[in-house]
């Protein structure tokens, strides 16, 4: 590009040094150039009046037009100059670019936040590190673990899976996936992932620690103890190894040794609130109420938004000390920390019930039942279809699984809606009659409503029927949740909308106590379904039986 031509400005003067005041500028558009013009113009104008003059024989009179033009030039110069000066004051320099933080600095910050027990902030920092370095698997692994600890389990699964996509041979990534699967109720998948981790790196302690936790969740005690003890042998400084050893002991009812294991974990990392909560629960089981209170309070001090800690503190005040006011305050803080924590509403409802505040107890019991039912439905792992004998009394499914699909949330933004795509199972693999069979299930865990669509199902033999089943969700009586008998149309299709309203999850006392609250409010028509629900859980529940008797007498 050719440079801009110079600009020449001429101003006529009466200066003896010349006829014109000449300004030659190399560039016509810069601010510095404009400032120069204004200043030189001002000097030229001033020169018209201050220049030395030669005495004349004849006195000249000033031209009014000339004076007016000069005044206009002076005021214009002053205006432009003032404008430039103002801009220079407002922006005296061009700011230097802010240095961009590296992914490594965010990861280091996240690790420091984790050591301080600030898990939510650590999660944010790890996500920022991943945004800058999407292929750095070492940020995905701790992020997945922290998300699981913060009850964002599905998101934790997603990040662990991404880590494996980046580095398929990375043992920590497989171990993190195993932990996430286990906390999501997919124990068989958890065991498989953890075994993959230990095969890739037999010296990786966390792989064995998470494997032991998964074995404990299905009561495989010998394998659980063997795994966590191997983890401790490999790394005595592993927080997860000590914590999961305590977890195995706790599930076995060995509360004393569980406390010791948890406390050893806290000696290594004293700022993990969830381990303090575990210590408190075991201390309470041992009858050491004061120590339990201290543990729960310490957890809250570390993490003021820990709903579980607030609930356990309130439950201790309510059931061990009979302090209704303190308990109620704790339950309210738990609800504030997590508005979808069903047990917190249950505790609050019981606190109101004990004070005979039935009107306040009722909505909290209803919320407790709704939210704990939703949490139970969210444990749905898969949906499958079997062929059963028509009219069979057996409440469980047969092994003749002809279609199956794993549930997954529709998105990170909507984790309450689960979907499963159904494909033919192993027992019909290679059977031409099943080649075109397909289907899907959409399960709204908030309401319990679900839609089932099946296509191209083969015609069954007389006396046989199709039945759909939920894996991981159970009826109040404890049986696997099913659709009942399915009747395909002439094309082999099924298209149904069904509902799983009450499932195993809410505590039995939520049902019968809510029923009694309605009885005392003279609303027995609302009490009966609740008493019947309690009797599905336990047919001998005395409070439910007594509630039915009282309602019958009140007619």
The reply to whether 343 falls in a domain is no
For residues 390 and 490, membership in a common domain is answered with yes
Residues 48-102 pLDDT 10s:
444 444 444 444 455 666 656 666 666 666 665 555 555 544 444 445 555 677 8
- Looking at the fold, whether 187 and 256 belong to one and the same domain comes out as yes
When divided into structural domains, the chain yields a total of 4
Q: Both 309 and 454 in a single domain? A: no
Confidence of residue 431 (pLDDT cuts 50, 70, 90): confident
Average pLDDT over residues 200-211: 97
- 295 plus 259 within the same structural domain: yes
**Contacts made by residues 11-17, CB under 8 angstroms, sequence distance 24+:** 11/41, 11/44, 11/45, 13/44, 13/47, 13/48, 13/51, 14/48, 14/51, 14/53, 15/47, 15/48, 15/51, 16/51, 16/52, 16/53, 16/54, 17/51
Out of 44-53, 267-276, 445-454, 498-507, least confident range: 44-53
Quickly count: other Cβ atoms within 10 Å of residue 416's Cβ.
15
Together in a domain, 389 and 298:
no
Nearest residue to 442 (alpha-carbon basis) of 420, 424, 422 = 420
* 369 domain residue, yes or no: no
> Is 366 domain-assigned?
no
Spatial neighbors of 232 by CB under 8 A, at least 6 apart, are 205, 238, 241, 242, 245
- Whether residues 473 and 519 share a domain: the answer is no
Share of the chain above pLDDT 70, in %: 82
> Are the C-beta atoms of 345 and 370 separated by less than 8 Å?
no
Q: Per the domain annotation, does 421 fall within a domain?
A: yes
Same domain, 286 and 317: yes
**283-334 pLDDT tens trace:** 999 999 999 999 999 999 999 999 999 999 999 999 999 999 999 999 999 9
**What range defines the domain where residue 312 resides?**
117-338
- pLDDT of amino acid 392: 73
Task: Judge if 414 and 265 occupy the same domain.
Answer: no
Q: Is residue 37 part of a domain?
A: yes
Domain-embedded: residue 301: yes
The verdict on 163 and 295 lying in the same domain is: yes
User: Do 138 and 274 belong to one domain?
Assistant: yes
> Quick one: 39 and 175 in the same domain?
no
Residues 194 and 81 in one domain: no
pLDDT of 11 > 90? The answer is: no
Q: Is residue 236 part of a domain?
A: yes
375 belongs to a structural domain: no
Of the listed ranges 13-17, 184-188, 549-553, the least confidently predicted one is 13-17
Residue where a domain stops, chosen among 499, 519, 540? 499
């Amino acid at each position: 590009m050719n440079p801009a031509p110079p600009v020449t400005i001429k101003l006529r003067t009466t200066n003896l040094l010349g006829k014109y005041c000449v300004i030659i500028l190399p560039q016509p558009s810069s601010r510095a150039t404009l400032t120069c013009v204004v200043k030189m113009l001002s000097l030229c104008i001033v020169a018209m009046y201050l220049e030395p003059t030669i005495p004349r024989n004849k006195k000249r009179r000033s031209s009014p037009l000339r004076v007016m033009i000069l005044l206009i030039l002076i005021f214009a110069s002053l205006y432009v100059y003032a404008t430039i000066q103002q801009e220079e004051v407002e922006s005296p320099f061009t700011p230097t670019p802010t240095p961009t933080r590296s992914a490594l600095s965010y990861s280091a910050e996240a690790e420091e936040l984790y050591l301080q027990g600030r898990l939510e902030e650590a999660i944010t920092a790890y996500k920022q590190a991943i945004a800058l370095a999407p292929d750095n698997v070492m940020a995905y692994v701790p992020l997945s673990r922290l998300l699981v600890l913060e009850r964002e389990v599905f998101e934790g699964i997603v990040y662990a899976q991404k880590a494996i996509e980046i580095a398929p041979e990375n043992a920590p990534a497989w171990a993190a996936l195993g932990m996430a699967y286990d906390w999501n109720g997919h124990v068989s998948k958890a065991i498989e992932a953890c075994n993959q981790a230990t095969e890739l790196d037999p010296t990786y302690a966390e792989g064995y620690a998470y494997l032991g936790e998964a074995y404990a969740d299905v009561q495989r005690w010998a394998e659980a103890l063997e795994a966590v003890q191997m983890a401790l042998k490999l790394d005595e400084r592993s927080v997860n190894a000590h914590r999961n050893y305590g977890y195995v002991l706790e599930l076995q009812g060995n509360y004393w040794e569980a406390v010791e294991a948890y406390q050893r974990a806290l000696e290594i990392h004293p700022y993990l609130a969830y381990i303090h909560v575990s210590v408190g629960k075991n201390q309470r089981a041992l009858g050491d109420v004061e120590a339990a209170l201290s543990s729960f309070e310490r957890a809250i001090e570390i993490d003021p938004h820990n709903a579980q800690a607030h609930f356990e503190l309130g439950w201790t005040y309510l059931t061990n000390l009979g302090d209704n006011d303190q308990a109620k305050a704790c339950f309210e803080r738990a609800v504030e920390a997590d508005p979808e924590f069903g047990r917190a509403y249950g505790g609050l409802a019981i606190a109101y019930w004990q004070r005979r505040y039935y009107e306040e107890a009722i909505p909290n019991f209803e919320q407790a039942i709704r939210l704990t039912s939703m949490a139970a439905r969210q444990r749905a792992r898969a949906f499958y279809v079997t062929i059963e004998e028509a009219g069979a009394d057996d409440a469980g499914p047969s092994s003749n699984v002809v279609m199956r699909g794993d549930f997954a949330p529709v998105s990170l933004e909507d984790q309450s809606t689960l979907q499963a795509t159904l494909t033919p199972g192993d027992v019909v693999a290679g059977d031409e009659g099943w080649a075109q069979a397909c289907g899907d299930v959409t399960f709204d865990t908030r309401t319990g409503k679900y839609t089932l669509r099946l296509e191209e199902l083969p015609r069954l033999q007389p006396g046989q029927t199709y039945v759909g089943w939920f894996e991981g969700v159970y009826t109040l009586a404890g049986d696997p949740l099913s659709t009942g008998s399915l009747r395909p149309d002439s094309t082999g299709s099924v298209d149904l909308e069904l509902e799983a309203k009450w499932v195993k999850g809410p505590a039995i006392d939520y049902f019968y106590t809510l029923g009694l609250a309605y009885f005392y409010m003279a609303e027995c028509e609302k009490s009966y379904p609740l008493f019947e629900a309690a009797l599905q859980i336990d047919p001998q529940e005395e409070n439910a039986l007594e509630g039915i008797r009282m309602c019958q007498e009140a007619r």
